[in-house]
Structure 1
Amino acid sequence: MADDVIELRGATKRFRSTSGGIHTAVHDLTMTVAANEFVAVVGPTGCGKSTTLSLVSGLEPPSEGEVLVAGSPVRGIPDGVGYMFQNDAVLPWRSVLDNVAAGPRYRGESRAAARAKARTWVERVGLAGFEGYYPHQLSGGMRKRVALAQTLVNEPSILLMDEPFSALDVQTRALMQDELLRLWSGTGAAVVFVTHDLEEAIALADRVIVMTASPATIKGSFPVPLSRPRDVEELRLSTEFLEIYREIWESLREEVEKARKGNASRAA
Protein backbone atom coordinates (compact mmCIF):
# COMPACT_ATOMS: atom_id res chain seq x y z
CA MET A 1 0.00 0.00 0.00
CA ALA A 2 1.17 3.52 -0.77
CA ASP A 3 0.54 4.67 2.78
CA ASP A 4 2.55 1.90 4.47
CA VAL A 5 5.25 3.66 6.47
CA ILE A 6 6.76 0.50 8.01
CA GLU A 7 7.50 -2.66 6.06
CA LEU A 8 9.40 -5.78 7.10
CA ARG A 9 10.20 -8.22 4.31
CA GLY A 10 11.37 -11.61 5.53
CA ALA A 11 13.37 -9.98 8.30
CA THR A 12 15.49 -12.28 10.49
CA LYS A 13 17.74 -11.30 13.39
CA ARG A 14 20.45 -13.52 14.90
CA PHE A 15 22.64 -12.79 17.90
CA ARG A 16 25.74 -14.53 19.21
CA SER A 17 24.86 -16.12 22.54
CA THR A 18 27.02 -16.03 25.68
CA SER A 19 27.97 -19.66 25.03
CA GLY A 20 29.35 -18.76 21.61
CA GLY A 21 26.44 -20.18 19.64
CA ILE A 22 23.95 -18.34 17.45
CA HIS A 23 20.53 -17.39 18.79
CA THR A 24 17.77 -16.55 16.30
CA ALA A 25 15.56 -13.96 17.97
CA VAL A 26 13.06 -13.49 15.12
CA HIS A 27 12.83 -15.04 11.67
CA ASP A 28 11.05 -14.28 8.42
CA LEU A 29 9.06 -11.34 9.78
CA THR A 30 6.79 -9.93 7.08
CA MET A 31 4.41 -7.15 8.07
CA THR A 32 3.35 -3.61 7.23
CA VAL A 33 2.03 -0.70 9.27
CA ALA A 34 0.20 2.19 7.65
CA ALA A 35 0.24 5.85 8.55
CA ASN A 36 -2.29 6.59 11.31
CA GLU A 37 -2.54 2.89 12.18
CA PHE A 38 -2.15 1.65 15.75
CA VAL A 39 -0.72 -1.89 15.78
CA ALA A 40 -0.18 -3.86 18.99
CA VAL A 41 2.23 -6.81 19.09
CA VAL A 42 1.70 -9.66 21.56
CA GLY A 43 3.47 -12.95 22.08
CA PRO A 44 5.09 -15.17 24.71
CA THR A 45 7.76 -13.73 26.99
CA GLY A 46 11.14 -13.60 25.28
CA CYS A 47 9.83 -14.31 21.79
CA GLY A 48 11.41 -11.29 20.13
CA LYS A 49 8.80 -8.55 20.30
CA SER A 50 11.34 -5.94 21.41
CA THR A 51 13.77 -7.11 18.74
CA THR A 52 11.13 -6.27 16.16
CA LEU A 53 11.06 -2.68 17.43
CA SER A 54 14.86 -2.56 17.34
CA LEU A 55 14.79 -3.53 13.65
CA VAL A 56 12.28 -0.81 12.80
CA SER A 57 14.13 1.83 14.83
CA GLY A 58 17.49 1.02 13.26
CA LEU A 59 19.04 0.13 16.61
CA GLU A 60 19.71 -3.35 15.19
CA PRO A 61 20.22 -4.31 11.52
CA PRO A 62 18.50 -7.42 10.17
CA SER A 63 20.68 -10.50 9.61
CA GLU A 64 18.54 -11.33 6.59
CA GLY A 65 15.64 -9.67 4.79
CA GLU A 66 14.72 -6.00 4.62
CA VAL A 67 13.24 -3.34 6.87
CA LEU A 68 11.86 -0.20 5.25
CA VAL A 69 10.61 3.03 6.78
CA ALA A 70 8.81 5.51 4.53
CA GLY A 71 9.83 3.34 1.56
CA SER A 72 13.58 3.48 2.25
CA PRO A 73 15.75 0.68 3.67
CA VAL A 74 16.70 1.30 7.30
CA ARG A 75 20.45 1.99 7.51
CA GLY A 76 20.45 3.75 10.87
CA ILE A 77 17.89 5.52 13.03
CA PRO A 78 15.31 6.92 10.57
CA ASP A 79 14.02 10.47 10.79
CA GLY A 80 10.64 10.84 12.42
CA VAL A 81 10.86 7.81 14.72
CA GLY A 82 10.00 8.19 18.41
CA TYR A 83 10.79 5.37 20.85
CA MET A 84 9.24 4.99 24.30
CA PHE A 85 10.94 2.29 26.38
CA GLN A 86 9.68 0.21 29.27
CA ASN A 87 11.98 2.16 31.60
CA ASP A 88 11.53 5.89 31.19
CA ALA A 89 14.50 7.91 30.02
CA VAL A 90 13.96 11.01 32.16
CA LEU A 91 17.20 12.61 33.35
CA PRO A 92 17.22 12.99 37.16
CA TRP A 93 19.20 16.25 37.14
CA ARG A 94 16.76 18.01 34.82
CA SER A 95 13.38 19.49 35.61
CA VAL A 96 10.21 18.26 33.91
CA LEU A 97 10.34 21.17 31.46
CA ASP A 98 14.01 20.69 30.58
CA ASN A 99 13.57 16.93 30.17
CA VAL A 100 10.85 17.53 27.59
CA ALA A 101 12.82 20.33 25.93
CA ALA A 102 15.90 18.12 25.49
CA GLY A 103 14.73 16.58 22.21
CA PRO A 104 14.09 19.86 20.39
CA ARG A 105 17.40 21.20 21.75
CA TYR A 106 19.27 18.19 20.34
CA ARG A 107 17.61 18.93 17.01
CA GLY A 108 19.03 22.42 16.94
CA GLU A 109 16.21 24.57 18.28
CA SER A 110 17.04 27.53 20.48
CA ARG A 111 16.59 27.17 24.22
CA ALA A 112 13.63 29.55 24.19
CA ALA A 113 11.89 27.79 21.28
CA ALA A 114 12.53 24.34 22.76
CA ARG A 115 11.19 25.33 26.17
CA ALA A 116 8.11 26.94 24.61
CA LYS A 117 7.35 23.75 22.70
CA ALA A 118 8.06 21.67 25.81
CA ARG A 119 5.73 23.80 27.92
CA THR A 120 2.89 23.12 25.48
CA TRP A 121 3.44 19.37 25.70
CA VAL A 122 3.81 19.39 29.48
CA GLU A 123 0.36 20.98 29.58
CA ARG A 124 -1.03 18.50 27.04
CA VAL A 125 0.01 15.51 29.15
CA GLY A 126 -1.62 17.02 32.23
CA LEU A 127 1.45 18.25 34.12
CA ALA A 128 0.85 22.01 34.05
CA GLY A 129 2.21 23.40 37.29
CA PHE A 130 4.89 20.71 37.58
CA GLU A 131 7.32 22.21 35.06
CA GLY A 132 9.94 22.92 37.73
CA TYR A 133 9.71 19.56 39.49
CA TYR A 134 12.46 16.94 39.27
CA PRO A 135 11.88 13.23 38.54
CA HIS A 136 12.39 12.13 42.15
CA GLN A 137 9.49 14.38 43.14
CA LEU A 138 7.06 12.68 40.74
CA SER A 139 4.90 9.56 40.99
CA GLY A 140 5.39 6.70 38.54
CA GLY A 141 2.41 7.82 36.48
CA MET A 142 3.70 11.38 36.32
CA ARG A 143 7.11 10.17 35.16
CA LYS A 144 5.38 8.24 32.38
CA ARG A 145 3.59 11.43 31.36
CA VAL A 146 6.96 13.16 31.15
CA ALA A 147 8.31 10.29 29.03
CA LEU A 148 5.28 10.52 26.74
CA ALA A 149 5.76 14.27 26.35
CA GLN A 150 9.47 13.70 25.66
CA THR A 151 8.53 11.42 22.80
CA LEU A 152 5.65 13.39 21.31
CA VAL A 153 7.29 16.83 21.50
CA ASN A 154 9.36 15.79 18.48
CA GLU A 155 6.17 15.10 16.49
CA PRO A 156 7.18 11.62 15.30
CA SER A 157 5.54 10.08 12.26
CA ILE A 158 6.28 6.65 13.75
CA LEU A 159 5.86 5.88 17.45
CA LEU A 160 7.48 2.71 18.81
CA MET A 161 6.41 1.73 22.33
CA ASP A 162 7.96 -1.16 24.27
CA GLU A 163 5.66 -2.04 27.19
CA PRO A 164 5.65 1.59 28.32
CA PHE A 165 2.96 1.19 31.00
CA SER A 166 3.81 -2.27 32.37
CA ALA A 167 5.28 -0.99 35.66
CA LEU A 168 2.22 1.08 36.58
CA ASP A 169 -0.63 0.08 38.88
CA VAL A 170 -3.90 -0.92 37.24
CA GLN A 171 -5.70 2.40 37.72
CA THR A 172 -2.77 4.55 36.56
CA ARG A 173 -2.20 2.26 33.61
CA ALA A 174 -5.79 2.72 32.43
CA LEU A 175 -5.44 6.49 32.74
CA MET A 176 -2.25 6.44 30.68
CA GLN A 177 -3.87 4.28 28.01
CA ASP A 178 -6.68 6.82 27.64
CA GLU A 179 -4.11 9.62 27.63
CA LEU A 180 -2.09 7.97 24.89
CA LEU A 181 -5.15 7.54 22.67
CA ARG A 182 -6.16 11.16 23.24
CA LEU A 183 -2.71 12.51 22.37
CA TRP A 184 -2.20 10.20 19.39
CA SER A 185 -5.59 10.98 17.83
CA GLY A 186 -5.22 13.27 14.85
CA THR A 187 -1.42 13.09 14.66
CA GLY A 188 -1.37 10.68 11.71
CA ALA A 189 1.48 8.76 13.36
CA ALA A 190 1.87 5.01 12.91
CA VAL A 191 2.18 3.23 16.27
CA VAL A 192 3.75 -0.15 17.04
CA PHE A 193 2.97 -1.01 20.67
CA VAL A 194 4.54 -4.08 22.29
CA THR A 195 2.72 -5.51 25.30
CA HIS A 196 2.23 -8.74 27.26
CA ASP A 197 -1.32 -7.66 28.11
CA LEU A 198 -3.84 -8.80 25.51
CA GLU A 199 -6.57 -6.61 27.02
CA GLU A 200 -4.32 -3.57 26.65
CA ALA A 201 -3.52 -4.51 23.05
CA ILE A 202 -7.18 -4.79 22.05
CA ALA A 203 -8.24 -1.65 23.92
CA LEU A 204 -5.64 0.48 22.14
CA ALA A 205 -5.07 -0.99 18.70
CA ASP A 206 -6.61 -1.07 15.24
CA ARG A 207 -4.89 -4.42 14.69
CA VAL A 208 -3.23 -7.00 16.96
CA ILE A 209 -0.31 -9.07 15.68
CA VAL A 210 0.36 -12.38 17.42
CA MET A 211 3.94 -13.67 17.38
CA THR A 212 4.92 -17.30 17.81
CA ALA A 213 7.13 -18.76 20.53
CA SER A 214 10.85 -18.15 20.00
CA PRO A 215 12.32 -17.91 17.46
CA ALA A 216 9.40 -15.69 16.65
CA THR A 217 7.62 -15.11 13.42
CA ILE A 218 4.17 -13.67 12.83
CA LYS A 219 1.39 -16.15 13.46
CA GLY A 220 -1.63 -13.96 12.78
CA SER A 221 -2.94 -10.45 12.33
CA PHE A 222 -6.32 -9.65 13.87
CA PRO A 223 -8.32 -6.48 13.08
CA VAL A 224 -9.97 -4.72 16.04
CA PRO A 225 -13.20 -3.25 14.59
CA LEU A 226 -14.05 -1.11 17.63
CA SER A 227 -15.05 2.49 17.07
CA ARG A 228 -12.99 5.48 18.20
CA PRO A 229 -12.72 7.49 20.37
CA ARG A 230 -12.42 4.81 23.06
CA ASP A 231 -12.75 4.73 26.82
CA VAL A 232 -10.56 1.76 27.65
CA GLU A 233 -12.31 0.86 30.92
CA GLU A 234 -15.81 0.92 29.43
CA LEU A 235 -14.61 -0.84 26.29
CA ARG A 236 -13.40 -3.87 28.26
CA LEU A 237 -16.95 -4.56 29.42
CA SER A 238 -18.50 -4.67 25.97
CA THR A 239 -19.60 -7.85 24.21
CA GLU A 240 -17.60 -6.92 21.11
CA PHE A 241 -14.41 -6.63 23.16
CA LEU A 242 -14.89 -10.05 24.75
CA GLU A 243 -15.52 -11.68 21.38
CA ILE A 244 -12.32 -10.23 19.95
CA TYR A 245 -10.41 -11.25 23.08
CA ARG A 246 -11.55 -14.88 22.81
CA GLU A 247 -10.55 -15.07 19.15
CA ILE A 248 -7.06 -13.67 19.66
CA TRP A 249 -6.46 -15.55 22.92
CA GLU A 250 -7.09 -18.88 21.18
CA SER A 251 -4.17 -18.08 18.88
CA LEU A 252 -1.93 -16.59 21.56
CA ARG A 253 -2.59 -19.31 24.16
CA GLU A 254 -1.05 -22.01 21.96
CA GLU A 255 2.19 -20.03 21.70
CA VAL A 256 2.30 -19.27 25.43
CA GLU A 257 1.96 -22.98 26.16
CA LYS A 258 4.71 -23.86 23.66
CA ALA A 259 7.01 -21.31 25.26
CA ARG A 260 6.24 -22.62 28.75
CA LYS A 261 6.98 -26.22 27.74
CA GLY A 262 10.18 -25.13 26.01
CA ASN A 263 11.38 -23.25 29.09
CA ALA A 264 10.55 -26.21 31.31
CA SER A 265 12.51 -28.65 29.13
CA ARG A 266 15.56 -26.34 29.06
CA ALA A 267 15.43 -25.97 32.85
CA ALA A 268 15.32 -29.76 33.23
Structure 2
Amino acid sequence: TLGLIAGLAKPQAGRVTLFDAPVEGVDRRVGFVFQQDAVFPWRSVLHNVMAGPLFRGVGKADAEAQARDWIVRVGLKGFENHHPHQLSGGMRKRVALAQTFINNPQVLLMDEPFSALDVQTRELMQEELLQLWAQARSAVLFVTHDLDEAILLADRVAVLTTRPARVKSVHAIDLPRPRDVATLRYDERFIAIARRISDDLREEVLRARAGH
Protein backbone atom coordinates (compact mmCIF):
# COMPACT_ATOMS: atom_id res chain seq x y z
CA THR A 1 0.00 0.00 0.00
CA LEU A 2 2.72 2.48 0.92
CA GLY A 3 4.58 1.65 -2.27
CA LEU A 4 1.50 2.62 -4.28
CA ILE A 5 1.20 5.95 -2.47
CA ALA A 6 4.92 6.62 -2.86
CA GLY A 7 4.73 5.97 -6.58
CA LEU A 8 7.11 3.01 -6.32
CA ALA A 9 4.49 0.60 -7.70
CA LYS A 10 1.38 0.81 -9.87
CA PRO A 11 -2.04 -0.50 -8.81
CA GLN A 12 -3.40 -3.54 -10.65
CA ALA A 13 -6.85 -1.98 -10.55
CA GLY A 14 -8.26 1.42 -9.67
CA ARG A 15 -6.05 4.38 -8.96
CA VAL A 16 -4.29 6.14 -6.10
CA THR A 17 -4.72 9.88 -5.67
CA LEU A 18 -2.59 12.25 -3.62
CA PHE A 19 -2.71 16.04 -3.49
CA ASP A 20 -5.96 15.79 -5.51
CA ALA A 21 -4.20 14.13 -8.45
CA PRO A 22 -3.40 10.55 -9.52
CA VAL A 23 -0.05 9.20 -8.34
CA GLU A 24 2.04 8.70 -11.47
CA GLY A 25 5.55 8.46 -10.04
CA VAL A 26 7.74 9.45 -7.12
CA ASP A 27 6.70 12.80 -5.67
CA ARG A 28 9.29 14.91 -3.86
CA ARG A 29 6.62 16.05 -1.42
CA VAL A 30 6.45 12.49 -0.05
CA GLY A 31 8.98 11.10 2.44
CA PHE A 32 9.50 7.41 3.22
CA VAL A 33 11.00 5.74 6.30
CA PHE A 34 11.57 2.01 5.83
CA GLN A 35 11.71 -0.86 8.30
CA GLN A 36 15.36 -1.31 7.38
CA ASP A 37 17.69 1.65 7.71
CA ALA A 38 18.08 3.33 4.32
CA VAL A 39 21.38 5.02 5.16
CA PHE A 40 24.52 5.04 3.05
CA PRO A 41 27.06 2.89 4.96
CA TRP A 42 30.06 4.62 3.37
CA ARG A 43 28.91 8.12 4.38
CA SER A 44 29.15 9.89 7.71
CA VAL A 45 26.05 10.98 9.61
CA LEU A 46 26.51 14.51 8.32
CA HIS A 47 26.83 13.47 4.70
CA ASN A 48 23.90 11.05 4.99
CA VAL A 49 21.64 13.84 6.19
CA MET A 50 23.00 16.29 3.59
CA ALA A 51 22.24 13.91 0.72
CA GLY A 52 18.59 14.89 0.24
CA PRO A 53 19.09 18.66 -0.02
CA LEU A 54 22.10 18.20 -2.31
CA PHE A 55 20.05 15.94 -4.59
CA ARG A 56 17.38 18.67 -4.72
CA GLY A 57 19.91 21.25 -5.85
CA VAL A 58 20.59 23.02 -2.55
CA GLY A 59 24.10 24.50 -2.33
CA LYS A 60 26.65 22.60 -0.29
CA ALA A 61 26.97 25.25 2.44
CA ASP A 62 23.20 25.51 2.91
CA ALA A 63 22.78 21.73 2.81
CA GLU A 64 25.42 21.33 5.52
CA ALA A 65 23.81 24.00 7.69
CA GLN A 66 20.42 22.34 7.38
CA ALA A 67 21.93 18.92 8.10
CA ARG A 68 23.71 20.12 11.22
CA ASP A 69 20.47 21.67 12.46
CA TRP A 70 18.56 18.41 12.00
CA ILE A 71 21.34 16.36 13.57
CA VAL A 72 20.92 18.50 16.69
CA ARG A 73 17.12 18.08 16.56
CA VAL A 74 17.34 14.29 16.55
CA GLY A 75 19.90 14.23 19.36
CA LEU A 76 23.00 13.24 17.41
CA LYS A 77 25.19 16.31 17.99
CA GLY A 78 28.77 15.10 18.36
CA PHE A 79 28.22 12.14 16.01
CA GLU A 80 28.40 14.09 12.74
CA ASN A 81 31.55 12.28 11.58
CA HIS A 82 30.52 8.80 12.69
CA HIS A 83 29.55 6.17 10.12
CA PRO A 84 26.45 3.92 10.40
CA HIS A 85 28.42 0.88 11.59
CA GLN A 86 29.57 2.94 14.58
CA LEU A 87 26.01 3.72 15.68
CA SER A 88 23.36 1.79 17.59
CA GLY A 89 20.10 0.77 15.91
CA GLY A 90 18.26 3.65 17.54
CA MET A 91 20.89 6.15 16.44
CA ARG A 92 20.73 4.91 12.84
CA LYS A 93 16.96 5.35 13.00
CA ARG A 94 17.50 8.94 14.14
CA VAL A 95 19.69 9.48 11.09
CA ALA A 96 16.90 8.10 8.91
CA LEU A 97 14.39 10.48 10.49
CA ALA A 98 16.70 13.44 9.97
CA GLN A 99 17.25 12.35 6.35
CA THR A 100 13.51 12.42 5.81
CA PHE A 101 12.42 15.49 7.75
CA ILE A 102 15.17 17.67 6.30
CA ASN A 103 13.32 17.49 2.96
CA ASN A 104 10.15 18.97 4.54
CA PRO A 105 7.80 16.24 3.28
CA GLN A 106 4.11 17.09 3.19
CA VAL A 107 3.29 13.39 3.49
CA LEU A 108 5.43 10.94 5.45
CA LEU A 109 5.07 7.19 4.85
CA MET A 110 6.46 4.96 7.60
CA ASP A 111 6.65 1.18 7.17
CA GLU A 112 7.11 -0.42 10.62
CA PRO A 113 10.15 1.83 11.18
CA PHE A 114 10.73 0.89 14.83
CA SER A 115 9.88 -2.83 14.75
CA ALA A 116 13.52 -4.00 14.91
CA LEU A 117 14.35 -1.91 18.00
CA ASP A 118 14.32 -3.04 21.61
CA VAL A 119 11.42 -1.87 23.78
CA GLN A 120 13.23 1.03 25.47
CA THR A 121 14.73 2.37 22.24
CA ARG A 122 11.41 1.97 20.47
CA GLU A 123 9.69 4.10 23.11
CA LEU A 124 12.36 6.79 22.76
CA MET A 125 11.93 6.81 18.99
CA GLN A 126 8.14 7.13 19.33
CA GLU A 127 8.70 10.18 21.53
CA GLU A 128 11.19 11.52 18.99
CA LEU A 129 8.73 11.08 16.14
CA LEU A 130 5.95 12.86 18.06
CA GLN A 131 8.26 15.80 18.75
CA LEU A 132 9.43 16.04 15.13
CA TRP A 133 5.86 15.76 13.89
CA ALA A 134 4.81 18.59 16.21
CA GLN A 135 7.37 20.80 14.45
CA ALA A 136 6.76 19.69 10.86
CA ARG A 137 3.03 18.81 10.93
CA SER A 138 3.38 16.47 7.97
CA ALA A 139 0.57 14.05 7.26
CA VAL A 140 1.84 10.64 8.42
CA LEU A 141 0.71 7.20 7.27
CA PHE A 142 2.26 4.72 9.70
CA VAL A 143 2.09 0.94 9.24
CA THR A 144 2.53 -1.13 12.39
CA HIS A 145 1.47 -4.48 13.87
CA ASP A 146 1.83 -3.03 17.39
CA LEU A 147 -1.56 -1.86 18.68
CA ASP A 148 -0.09 0.23 21.51
CA GLU A 149 2.20 2.02 19.04
CA ALA A 150 -0.71 2.76 16.72
CA ILE A 151 -2.79 4.31 19.49
CA LEU A 152 0.11 6.25 21.00
CA LEU A 153 0.98 7.94 17.72
CA ALA A 154 -2.18 8.23 15.68
CA ASP A 155 -5.23 10.42 15.27
CA ARG A 156 -6.98 7.58 13.46
CA VAL A 157 -6.25 3.84 13.36
CA ALA A 158 -7.37 1.81 10.36
CA VAL A 159 -7.74 -1.95 10.82
CA LEU A 160 -7.09 -3.98 7.68
CA THR A 161 -8.56 -7.35 6.73
CA THR A 162 -6.42 -10.32 5.79
CA ARG A 163 -5.29 -10.58 2.16
CA PRO A 164 -6.46 -9.13 -0.07
CA ALA A 165 -6.21 -6.29 2.45
CA ARG A 166 -9.14 -3.90 2.72
CA VAL A 167 -10.02 -1.32 5.33
CA LYS A 168 -12.17 -3.15 7.87
CA SER A 169 -12.77 -0.21 10.22
CA VAL A 170 -11.38 3.18 11.24
CA HIS A 171 -11.10 4.22 14.89
CA ALA A 172 -10.73 7.84 16.02
CA ILE A 173 -8.04 8.27 18.70
CA ASP A 174 -9.39 11.15 20.78
CA LEU A 175 -6.41 11.41 23.13
CA PRO A 176 -5.02 14.91 23.73
CA ARG A 177 -1.68 16.07 22.40
CA PRO A 178 1.14 16.42 23.28
CA ARG A 179 1.31 12.77 24.35
CA ASP A 180 3.63 11.19 26.88
CA VAL A 181 4.49 7.76 25.49
CA ALA A 182 5.83 6.53 28.83
CA THR A 183 2.58 7.11 30.77
CA LEU A 184 -0.27 7.33 28.26
CA ARG A 185 -0.71 3.56 27.89
CA TYR A 186 -1.86 3.44 31.54
CA ASP A 187 -4.57 6.06 30.98
CA GLU A 188 -8.13 4.68 31.22
CA ARG A 189 -9.03 6.30 27.90
CA PHE A 190 -6.10 4.56 26.22
CA ILE A 191 -7.11 1.21 27.70
CA ALA A 192 -10.70 1.63 26.50
CA ILE A 193 -9.56 2.43 22.95
CA ALA A 194 -7.11 -0.49 22.97
CA ARG A 195 -9.85 -2.86 24.10
CA ARG A 196 -12.21 -1.67 21.36
CA ILE A 197 -9.66 -2.04 18.57
CA SER A 198 -8.40 -5.33 19.99
CA ASP A 199 -11.92 -6.77 19.79
CA ASP A 200 -12.09 -5.64 16.17
CA LEU A 201 -8.75 -7.28 15.40
CA ARG A 202 -9.76 -10.48 17.17
CA GLU A 203 -12.82 -10.78 14.93
CA GLU A 204 -10.59 -10.55 11.87
CA VAL A 205 -8.12 -13.13 13.24
CA LEU A 206 -10.93 -15.59 13.99
CA ARG A 207 -12.40 -15.05 10.55
CA ALA A 208 -9.02 -15.71 8.94
CA ARG A 209 -8.58 -18.93 10.94
CA ALA A 210 -12.01 -20.09 9.83
CA GLY A 211 -10.96 -19.57 6.21
CA HIS A 212 -13.40 -16.74 5.44
- TMscore range, shorter length: over 0.9
Task: Give the counterpart of 2:176 among 215, 224, 227.
Answer: 227
Separation in 1, partners of 2:80, 2:21: 38
Q: CA deviation at 1:79?
A: 2.8
Question: Which residue of structure 2 lines up, in the alignment, with residue 239 of structure 1?
Answer: 188
Separation in 1, partners of 2:40, 2:179: 32
Question: Which residue of structure 2 lines up, in the alignment, with residue 91 of structure 1?
Answer: 40
Separation in 2, partners of 1:256, 1:85: 26
Which structure dedicates a bigger proportion of its chain to helix? Answer: 2
Separation in 1, partners of 2:209, 2:103: 40
Spell out, residue by residue over 1:197-222, the C-alpha distance to the aligned partner (whole angstroms, 9 max, x if none).
Answer: 00000000000000001111000000
Q: CA deviation at 1:233?
A: 1.6
Q: Which structure 1 residue ranges, 4+ long, deviate > 3 Å from structure 2?
A: 257-262
Structure 1 stretches of 5 or more lacking a match? 1-51, 263-268
Count of residues in correspondence between the two structures: 211
Is the contact between residue 95 and residue 135 of structure 1 (CA under 8 Å) also seen in structure 2? yes
Separation in 2, partners of 1:148, 1:93: 18
Equivalent position SS for 1:121: helix
Separation in 2, partners of 1:239, 1:97: 43
Question: Which residue of structure 2 lines up, in the alignment, with residue 212 of structure 1?
Answer: 161
Question: Which residue of structure 2 lines up, in the alignment, with residue 181 of structure 1?
Answer: 130
Question: Which residue of structure 1 lines up, in the alignment, with residue 112 of structure 2?
Answer: 163
Q: CA deviation at 1:186?
A: 3.6
Separation in 2, partners of 1:127, 1:259: 44
Separation in 1, partners of 2:13, 2:96: 33
Question: Which residue of structure 2 lines up, in the alignment, with residue 248 of structure 1?
Answer: 197
2:118 paired with 1:153 = no
Q: CA deviation at 1:261?
A: 5.5
Is the contact between residue 199 and residue 236 of structure 1 (CA under 8 Å) also seen in structure 2? yes
Going from structure 1 to structure 2, the CA distance change for 1:240 and 1:114 (only over 3 Å counts) comes to same
Q: Give RMSD over aligned pairs.
A: 1.1
TM-score w.r.t. length of structure 2: 0.97
Equivalent position SS for 1:182: helix
Structure 2 stretches of 5 or more lacking a match? none
TM-score w.r.t. length of structure 1: 0.77
Which structure dedicates a bigger proportion of its chain to strand? Answer: 1
Name the amino acid aligned to 1:180: L
Question: Which residue of structure 2 lines up, in the alignment, with residue 8 of structure 1?
Answer: none
Q: CA deviation at 1:260?
A: 4.9
